Structure 1
């Protein structure tokens, strides 16, 4: 499957515009749909033929990887009842009849909306993150992680990725570091912020099924006996730690690479990708941790692929977050051997952040939104087949959302200057915020021109360019012509609805960090012009500073507040919404 999908992608890369259209038509009719869409998504990054907004979101095209299997079964059952009896039991689902005729269709349709919970909704609590399953299983977050796989395919060499984007290795690390920072922020509202220690004390049931009806395998909590696959993973772990201890990487051709302060992120990322997330070991790692002790192969087709074998389902399992943390520990281990960088060299008196009453009393609001999206592709894979239907089935999930907000910023400068404004959100940390550097999540980074003297600016969450907005697909019907015209959704950007963690009714205290620095000389380090592929449009850089600056590594010479950076205490309030009595969502989704 992988070889065939990659081969199709290479074909898309190699043909001219005219042959591309013919090849696309042929592949759509003759190639497995998942392979076809996978190759198209790759071409939207590494080629120039496929626009990035021309492909529908993963949760629309393959809802079986995002929606509980009992919901899919219920949808098909209701369709059969409707076909045979002409009606559906009102107690079974919410049924609405719409009279309007959408422009994309030529007749009236009937829409059925089914409430759907997340995994484990009917099981006793086991203490393994059930209360934040809405975060781990969010359709936007898991679609985004598929985008991250496409940006860093495990089968694509570091050398080939270097040709598309010279800072890909740094980005690979930063994406996972930010995912973990955001994950920890989501746990802040829980009574006990359980640390990630890798102890998977219970089995994990995915609640998903493949199109042939086969369920995703349950991941056993039993670790099983020591074997050659576990020995392989351990040997790689020891080798990576030895490279870190020596500050030296020996390549296969004998070349020695020093892990210097400037290059450690890039070189460590490439080392980890090649050894733990490469073709040879990716399958082993995902089998060991994705199945637990349930991984004894019956034949080459069984057991079925686990959650960890698909990037768009990996984040659902808490054990995968343990794997992310284990990877980040390599970087932390090396950073602890380095001298902290001097933060004072980035301070400046020429740019001053001026406190104002609005920002010192700032608060955000979170709530759960009833998000609806169609399940049409769960039964059909061709758009033309879907348009011939009379009845449309949609699912309604409760997704974390935040109210739009504005951050009021005031600056004073001695001259007109072009600056980079960085906004981060972190835990309540008092005077120890710099020690908690790895727990800060990037809200926004943007370039702004400050006039000489005083400048007041309102930074609106609606203007953030680094995040993806999927509100256009919050609909019971599928209108591809309209959806594909939107530039607000991107599989390669973090979902906007998860920008702010869930708060508390009484208020959750967090920390907002603001830093302003002059734009430094930015060089396009990519050897290829940006017009030769679309990769550069998916990953934005604003200057040559490290990703995550100034929280990219331990700092020295820091202050609680300087002229051009500040920490502010902010509060996140959670607004509870009580639905009609017939709603069947779990208590943590209100």
Structure 2
């Protein structure tokens, strides 16, 4: 397999030069290089057993039961073997989704084998055995979650998911064309345009079938980088993780859950404005869903992803019509369960108390937002996840319009029931808008920020300026050789390559300058947001209504000196975004070169995931779409958890020193309602600045401003 690896961490091998300055670089030793090479090879041609001699030998000879002493936690070997030995484990070739409880439990059992392996050798042998003998999707999910959380593998770079499983990211006609090339040319590649292989031009789903105005946004909804980002977010933060068991207790996961989805919705809204669309439609379970969805995707076994018709009814009678659902699990009752869960969550917010098995929990305490986030996500840290339920899970099943499974091994998950594909469906954003509105119900009972919380004594932002904001489309190449199947000889020769060329949005890097006047030397935090100023009709949106539409663009600590401070930042300086990186071939050659002593190899110590740098800005328009920057400077107050040695020993996304720095809430100052618009605009340590975003076919065309 020849992958075109897009790194999740910036700066690897000093190739992501723009972000490398903000990430700690470490020169890899031989042990790290060996693990990096092992992980890449394990994920090669994942949809079929490997024919490599070492893998075949381990797959046939390694015995988990006989090596039970090599796993730290008692009982995990027996737990997994109960599935495996009694024929309950998902067979190879069947579809896998963590949205289905029985399959999730199997994935957790396998993950525990990986995670609690005593040493790397045991982990490696277990992984290779499972890669050969366990369902492909189940193995992939459990393996990548283990890699990013095990201490000895957490800095390893994983390939983007769209290279491992191209089926989930490219239309079925693209995968079909890859099959055609493989069958016609027998695994032999050709030299074309400097690339040793075949190139397929890929469009987005609206190219063949345009069902709704939402498909104007298919370039964004189906972007491989954004979907990969969402998949890996759920790998770093599995909804089923227990804080106590897996070391999350220093992470405000409930607050982060809210902020992550609020920002995802805000970024989507910015893109909608560029296409003349307005608010994300409000989802009402009692009204037919207007937005249809036809995924244009097929699973590796040939089964089509379920589609949703226009004006789909969600009532249980309509949704389950013609299916046997009354005794086949909870999904057939999704509509009723959602009604129950939403009512209980609303009651908890309005009453201020959550009912737990131990008694009542105060929701309006210092930890209230974190408690509410855990409760709505229904993770193991929820005070009562069984009672308050997972609206997002049952809502995904209901909106995805997938069929009720005949058995645990015969499922047909919708796009909403796979993290890799969920963002493709516009209904995803409608569902999470409804969930975010539950949080807004909670914030409604909070006091708005006043002068004490917003003003920074002796500090004033006096000016802000920015370069022209230019976006454009450029070709992006993805190797999809994993989509086809190989004979043992072809795997050994490894000489067939097929890639996709797809146009993706990008932006020209820009610099902005902030002038801050300070009466004294002081350590500060600077947040820069980007949001709309007008709606799709050109009407001004007041800040009270607009606060949830701002996207956090940059976030950093800055030492202010007495007098004027001019802060200059390039868009590439933001620690929240990462560029596309080098191809797998170049990366793999560097790993081999470093192992052979011909060169050094550097990697990023903190293996974060990032939003694609090419989507820092929304598309804009040829005539220019107006948006606005917002900057606020406030006192630096370190998070209490950052003072903990235990915290310093483990880094998580959104928690490392390169990302979220201080004790203020993640959404500050837009997390609470704004009762006085003029007061908010008069905060001296903040500043609004209007700027247009221009879309250009010719990126050298500079607009007149």
Normalised by the shorter chain, which TM-score bucket?
Answer: 0.7 to 0.9
1:175 to 234, 256, 260: 260
Kindly provide the CA deviation profile for residues 438-494 of structure 1, in whole angstroms up to 9, marking residues without a partner as x. Answer: 111000101122233332222111122122322324x8x574355996649967322
Q: Does 1:200 align with 2:289?
A: yes
Kept in 2, the 8 Å contact 1:376–1:386? The answer is no
Paired residues in the alignment total 552
Kept in 2, the 8 Å contact 1:166–1:525? The answer is no
1:571 to 680, 684, 692: 692
Kept in 2, the 8 Å contact 1:428–1:509? The answer is yes
2:201 to 93, 103, 115: 115
In the alignment, what sits opposite 1:132?
217
In the alignment, what sits opposite 1:451?
561
Q: Does 1:314 align with 2:314?
A: no
Aligned CA distance change for structure 1 residues 278 and 404 (closer, same or farther; 3 Å): farther
In the alignment, what sits opposite 2:300?
211
Structure 2 residue matching 1:193: 3-state secondary structure: coil
Kept in 1, the 8 Å contact 2:149–2:236? The answer is no
Aligned CA distance change for structure 1 residues 225 and 517 (closer, same or farther; 3 Å): closer
Kept in 2, the 8 Å contact 1:370–1:399? The answer is yes
Kept in 2, the 8 Å contact 1:68–1:118? The answer is yes
- After TM superposition, give the deviation of residue 164 of structure 1 in Å: 4.5
- After TM superposition, give the deviation of residue 517 of structure 1 in Å: 1.2
Structure 2 residue matching 1:131: 3-state secondary structure: helix
In the alignment, what sits opposite 1:42?
145
Kindly provide the CA deviation profile for residues 558-590 of structure 1, in whole angstroms up to 9, marking residues without a partner as x. Answer: 332433110001110001259xxxxxxxxxxxx
Kept in 1, the 8 Å contact 2:265–2:429? The answer is yes
Q: How does 1:150-299 map to 2 (within 5 A)?
A: 150-157=235-242, 160=245, 163-193=248-278, 195-198=280-283, 200-221=289-310, 222-226=312-316, 228-253=333-358, 255-260=359-364, 262-274=366-378, 275=385, 284-291=394-401, 295-299=403-407
- After TM superposition, give the deviation of residue 497 of structure 1 in Å: 1.5
1:60 to 163, 169, 177: 163
Structure 1 residue matching 2:681: 3-state secondary structure: coil
Kept in 2, the 8 Å contact 1:447–1:542? The answer is yes
In the alignment, what sits opposite 1:106?
none
- After TM superposition, give the deviation of residue 22 of structure 1 in Å: 3.6
Q: Which moved more, 1:457-466 or 1:477-486?
A: 477-486
Q: Does 1:147 align with 2:264?
A: no
The separation in 2 between residues aligned to 1:285 and 1:458, in whole angstroms, is 44
Kindly provide the CA deviation profile for residues 523-563 of structure 1, in whole angstroms up to 9, marking residues without a partner as x. Answer: 11797713654426765321000011111111356332433
- After TM superposition, give the deviation of residue 121 of structure 1 in Å: 1.8
Aligned CA distance change for structure 1 residues 541 and 532 (closer, same or farther; 3 Å): same
TM-score normalised by L of structure 1: 0.85
2:174 to 64, 67, 71: 71
Kept in 2, the 8 Å contact 1:468–1:491? The answer is no
The separation in 2 between residues aligned to 1:83 and 1:536, in whole angstroms, is 43
Q: How does 1:359-508 map to 2 (within 5 A)?
A: 359=465, 362-379=467-484, 388-428=493-533, 432-473=542-583, 479-482=587-590, 487=604, 492-508=609-625
Kept in 2, the 8 Å contact 1:370–1:397? The answer is yes
In the alignment, what sits opposite 1:96?
192
- After TM superposition, give the deviation of residue 300 of structure 1 in Å: 4.2
2:458 to 350, 357, 362: 350
Kept in 2, the 8 Å contact 1:45–1:535? The answer is no
The separation in 2 between residues aligned to 1:461 and 1:147, in whole angstroms, is 23
Structure 2 runs not aligned, ≥5 long = 1-102, 318-332, 379-384, 535-539, 592-600, 700-705
Q: How does 1:577-588 map to 2 (within 5 A)?
A: none
In the alignment, what sits opposite 2:119?
16
- After TM superposition, give the deviation of residue 28 of structure 1 in Å: 3.9
TM-score normalised by L of structure 2: 0.72
Structure 2 residue matching 1:315: 3-state secondary structure: helix
Kept in 1, the 8 Å contact 2:474–2:503? The answer is yes
